[in-house]
Amino acid sequence: MLKSVKLTVLASVVGFGFCTSALADINDALANICTIVQADDKGELRKKMKNVEDDFRIKLQDYYTGISCDGNSLIRTAMLSNAVEAGTLLVKKMPKKQLSEPENDGKTLQTWIDEKGLQSNPVAQALAERI
């Protein structure tokens, strides 16, 4: 009985250590994604997304909500930075359903765009066409 408890505890500790390590690795891999979006570097953004997908087997839709650039999502950051190419790529890569859902602040992208008066932004227009 004691042996099985020890094995269970050991397996839990090893599993927790692996999860923590994997989380640190993904955070390192996504560390400069905000800078890439702000710089409107579509090629580097595409490369970053591909590397994350290949290395960790997760897609943009899986980690999009977990990334905040000065309190804004990646698409909002692209619009505020006038990063048309990067923002348009993000809009195209996200599922339509997720583009219509509220973000961390409870506002949808479309509501936020209307509040900020960014309807003429090319990324906002790409978003409107996609939704």
Are 58 and 107 contained in the same domain?
yes
Per-residue tokens: 55: 């290395």
Instruction: Provide the pLDDT for residue 82.
Output: 92
Query: What is the 3-class SS of the chain, one letter each residue?
Result: CHHHHHHHHHHHHHHHHHHHHHHHHHHHHCCCHHHHHHCCCHHHHHHHHHHHHHHHCCCHHHHHHHCCECCECHHHHHHHCCCHHHHHHHHHHCCHHHHHCCCCCCCCHHHHHHHHCCCCCHHHHHHHHHC
Per-residue tokens: 62: 């899986």
Number of folded domains that form the chain:
2
Q: Is 41 exposed, middle or buried (0-12, 13-18, 19+ CB in 10 A)?
A: middle
Instruction: Provide the pLDDT for residue 22.
Output: 52
Q: Are the beta carbons of 52 and 30 closer than 8 angstroms?
A: yes
Q: Residues with Cβ < 8 Å from 71, sequence gap 6 or more? A: none
pLDDT tens digits, residue range 34-56? 999 999 999 999 999 898 899 88
Are 62 and 125 contained in the same domain?
yes
Are 14 and 54 contained in the same domain?
no
Instruction: Give the pLDDT of the chain (131 residues) as one tens digit per residue.
Output: 444 433 343 344 444 444 444 555 777 778 788 999 999 999 999 999 898 899 889 888 888 888 888 888 899 999 999 999 999 999 999 998 998 888 888 888 899 899 989 888 998 888 888 88
Are 26 and 41 contained in the same domain?
no
97 vs 84: CA distance, rounded Å: 21
Are 107 and 81 contained in the same domain?
yes
